[in-house]
């Protein structure tokens, strides 16, 4: 595979598959919590889901900056 194929195709696929997996996990947890819950407040319903995603985004940014500071970068050198 060329470097362009690896960057455009494989990197996008790796990101999209992880994002879809997280979205499906949140949807399944919300469905189970809504099915088993007796009150109106849900486990990950509505406003409760946003802080979880926000915290995950901040953790991902910190980890990516840590990796870049250690020299783990993507370049076009063989």
Is the pTM here over 0.75, yes or no?
no
- Is residue 15 scored above 80 in pLDDT? yes
- Of the ranges 4-8, 13-17, 48-52, the best mean pLDDT one: 13-17
> Rounded mean pLDDT of 16-27?
86
Distance separating alpha carbons of residues 44 and 34, to the nearest angstrom: 9
User: Which tokens go with 60?
Assistant: 């991902």
8 Å CB contact between 52 and 44: yes
Q: How confident is the model at residue 1 (pLDDT cuts 50, 70, 90)?
A: confident
Alpha helix ranges (H) inside the chain: 3-5, 11-36, 49-69
Reference 43, options 51, 33, 53, 52; nearest CA is 33
């Amino acid at each position: 595979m060329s470097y362009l194929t690896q960057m455009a195709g494989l990197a996008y696929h790796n990101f999209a598959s992880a994002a879809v997996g997280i979205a499906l996990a949140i949807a399944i947890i919300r469905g189970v919590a809504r099915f088993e819950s007796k009150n109106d407040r849900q486990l990950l319903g509505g406003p409760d889901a946003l802080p979880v995603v926000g915290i995950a985004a901040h953790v991902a940014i910190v980890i990516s900056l840590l990796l870049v500071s250690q020299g783990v970068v993507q370049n076009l050198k063989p």
